[in-house]
Amino acid sequence: MLTIENLHKTFHPDLGLGREISAWLKRLSGGIHDSGGVQAVRGVSLETRPGEILGLVGESGSGKSTLGRLLAGLYKPDQGRVLFDGRDLGAMKRKERKSFRKRVQIMFQDPVSSMNPRLTAGSMIEEGLVIHRLGNSTERRHKVDRLLEEVGLPPDTRSRYSHEFSGGQRQRLSLARALALGPEILIADEPVSALDVSIQAQIINLLMDLRQRRGLTLILVSHDLPLVRIMADRLAVMYGGLLMEVVDKDRLWQVPHHPYVLSLMASADRAGLEGGRLLEGEPPDPQNPPPGCPFQPRCPEAVVLCRNENPPLINHSPGFSCACHRR
Amino acid sequence: MSTILEIDNLAISFNHGAKPVVRGVCLRLKAGEIVGLVGESGSGKSISALSLMGLLPSSARLDSGEFHFKGQNLNALSPAERRRLCGTHLGMVFQEPLTALNPVLTIGEQVAEVYRLRAGYSRHQAWKAAVEMLARVGLSNPAEAARNYPHRFSGGMRQRVVIAMALALAPEVLVADEPTTALDPTIAAQILALLARLTAANNNLEKDAAPRASEAFAPSSRGSTVLFITHNLRLLTGLAQRVLVMYTGLVVEEAGVPEIFTHPAHPYTQGLLKALPPALSEPAPERLKAIGGTPPVPGQWPPGCPFEPRCERAFTPCRLSLPPLFNLGGGHLARCFLYSREEKRSGRPEALTDQPTDLNGAKHRSGGE
């Protein structure tokens, strides 16, 4: 089980000069070159439930992908902790981290850039098994064959290179790679957004089947609300680096949603055109977030309090938490 | 309403004819209509639009195809005349706004250029018109924005600029190639609303409900004519009056907008609608119904129906020859042997009667909850 407590992550653009020169420049100029950084995640607390599909929903710049990578241990948080079965990820020793990596896996949005073009599909899937010294070469070969079959790729694809695969097949391959070590938690970052409609449903159904068969906990990062609604048991909606709302799927039509979530729903259904809540303006600049609630500049319900104070995420009722002064 | 734009028997190929990507597309736009052109990547929808604008890449070859704009044959025009017509009377909004804008010119210069070159405005007049146009597409502080460079703008703002350029001279026909695909949902909704408003504003459009199937060919309004290209069929709900579905360079179905959602005829269209996550206002299915397999590699089309390898309802004739477009009445066409008369008489499935009239067990509603 993954728990995160008050997670913060800020990226400091390094002016393309590398980290050391940028730090030196910054010291030299007395902070003039320090823009304050891109505040991607600004204090998020969340807990996964075993076996659930948690949908992490947000628009670009909301911090959802950064949060996914923090959960996978790919970034070090600036503040806050990621706990896996009660153990702090930041305090883990080398050996423990290695076992964490085996149990928590991530698959990336863009299967092209996340694959080594010089490795065959087979060796790509096998890589993790080799690193973790699982089985001898014959056992590993059998394991790769089983994985290929599990994700619906023909066995002869093991000797092919990633460029020989179609988009949907590549996503299947990246799924096989993520499953090789038998993870308990799988983080999928926009797994179908690069795929054509007729292929999307294949990958979605495959993910749902695998989750069922393997008892996986799946964290699904996506901007597509109608899609997440179908797959997820629980939705966590992010905006401006913060959680706006966390809601169980079966409570979706029974709760007073966060104003941002209402707007997102209206946009997704194109009700915005028919006089629904069409949002004006743009998401906040992550280098310079607005004071108070990040949604306040676009919110039709904002009051003075919203500008002065950032509303905390409050549990209103079972299966519904919301960060809004007006709820 | 009169036909404003006509594309006849359009065929385009790559590699000197070795790789056909568009295979005989016919398209008619009536004045004031919004028509959707739907297809997945490789279906030939974007390249068809580019050929209309005379923007085919040099690697592509126009094998056949006649373009008629208001009765004028575009093929007979000189390249210069064609270019003039395409900026003025036919406008295009591109999918990726950043590559459609020049990074070393301010957006004001780029919008003003349209007025100077096409409408003969003076520098000063053109700049004033550009700022006005930027205000119309909803840029806050347009005078300030006009002096900035494209990289300073977010994706949604850039798309507004591209729309401003396309609509600057109030073209009679607007081709919008996936104008919202690169955008976030709340921004995409803004852009769709903007497009709907601006194309309607060119002539005072009465905002009507989408026409019934029987009137599918009678446009409901007198707004500018729009060819809206998208991979997402659902986007066209309540926006377009008519839809053409493309697959492997062919039009496989053509129907009015409520009709295509309530009575999709081609198995591919039916599959697409079941594979898409339904709108939030509709009940969520347990799981989506995927279309098995993958589309054929562009240019390597099977001899029969291109959808046959993936089709659950395929039968012998589908493998042997390419079905023509069968007329189902009321302007509804489908390229599928299920609708051929002879097949029906020999006791083949009467497709229209066992069509799923409702999708995913829910009656389709367009719009809100």
Read off the pLDDT of residues A167-202 as tens digits, 9 standing for 90 and up. 889 999 999 999 999 999 999 999 998 888 889 999
State the nearest Cα–Cα gap between B160 and chain A, in angstroms.
12
> CA nearest B193 in A: which residue?
A273
> CA nearest A274 in B: which residue?
B367
Share of chain B above pLDDT 70, in %: 86
DSSP state of A108: -
- Residue B294, chain A, CB below 8 Å: the answer is yes
Residue of A272, A241, A251 whose CA lies nearest to A315: A251
- Residue B209, chain A, CB below 8 Å: the answer is no
Residue-wise pLDDT for B215-267, tens only, equals 333 333 346 899 999 998 888 887 899 999 999 999 999 999 989 999 999 99
Residue-wise pLDDT for B98-132, tens only, equals 888 999 999 999 999 999 998 999 999 999 999 99
Q: Where are the domains of chain B?
A: 3-89+171-275
Give B54's contacts (C-beta < 8 A, 6+ positions apart).
B74, B79, B82, B83, B86
- pLDDT category of residue B360 using cuts at 50, 70 and 90: very low
Spatial separation of the C-alpha atoms in residues B253 and B265, rounded to whole Å: 7
* Homologous superfamily of the B3-89+171-275 domain (CATH): P-loop containing nucleotide triphosphate hydrolases (3.40.50.300)
Q: Does the beta-carbon distance from A166 to B232 stay under 8 Å? A: no
How far is C-alpha B96 from the geometric centre of its chain's CA atoms?
15
Residues in chain A within 8 Å Cβ distance of B369 = 269, 271
Report the pLDDT averaged over residues A62-84: 93
Q: Does the beta-carbon distance from B154 to A282 stay under 8 Å? A: yes
Geometric angle at alpha carbon B180, from B284 and B74, rounded to 5°: 125
- Residue B61, chain A, CB below 8 Å: the answer is no
Residue A276 has a pLDDT of: 57
| Number of separate helices (H) and strands (E) present in chain A | 10, 12
Residue A38 has a pLDDT of: 87
Give the class (CATH, top level) of A2-8+47-239. Answer: alpha beta
Residue A298 has a pLDDT of: 92
Q: Does the beta-carbon distance from A230 to B157 stay under 8 Å? A: no
Residue-wise pLDDT for B181-197, tens only, equals 878 888 888 888 888 88
Q: Give me the residue from A196, A230, A264 closest to B288, CB to CB.
A: A230
State the nearest Cα–Cα gap between A194 and chain B, in angstroms.
11
Q: Does the beta-carbon distance from A197 to B40 stay under 8 Å? A: yes
Mean pLDDT of chain A: 90
Given a contact cutoff of 8 angstroms between Cβ atoms, the answer to whether B253 and B266 are in contact is: yes
B contact test, residue of A222, A282, A298 with most B CBs within 10 A: A282
Q: Does the beta-carbon distance from B367 to A198 stay under 8 Å? A: no
- pLDDT category of residue A286 using cuts at 50, 70 and 90: confident
Q: Does the beta-carbon distance from A271 to B367 stay under 8 Å? A: yes
Report the pLDDT averaged over residues A134-147: 94
Match 């930041």 to its residue by tokens.
A90
Q: Does the beta-carbon distance from A272 to B193 stay under 8 Å? A: yes
3-state SS of A115-163 is CCCCCEHHHHHHHHHHHCCCCCHHHHHHHHHHHHHHCCCCHHHHHCEHH
Q: Which burial class, exposed, middle or buried, applies to B229 when counting CB atoms under 10 A from its CB (0-12, 13-18, 19+)?
A: buried
Residue A32 has a pLDDT of: 53
**Confidence check: pLDDT of A29 > 70:** no
Q: Hey, how many other C-beta atoms are within 10 angstroms of the C-beta on B144?
A: 12
**Confidence check: pLDDT of B149 > 80:** yes
Given a contact cutoff of 8 angstroms between Cβ atoms, the answer to whether B245 and B266 are in contact is: yes
Residue-wise pLDDT for A201-254, tens only, equals 999 999 999 999 999 999 999 999 999 999 999 999 999 999 999 999 999 988
> CA nearest B285 in A: which residue?
A230
Q: Where are the domains of chain A?
A: 2-8+47-239, 240-327
Q: Hey, how many other C-beta atoms are within 10 angstroms of the C-beta on B152?
A: 12
B250-256 sheet: strands from edge to edge: B90-93, B173-177, B225-230, B34-38, B242-247, B250-256, B333-334, B326-327
**How many CB contacts within 8 angstroms connect chain A with chain B?**
127
Residue A277 has a pLDDT of: 65
Q: Does the beta-carbon distance from A205 to B287 stay under 8 Å? A: yes
Question: How high is the ipTM of this complex?
Answer: 0.83
Q: Does the beta-carbon distance from B193 to A268 stay under 8 Å? A: no
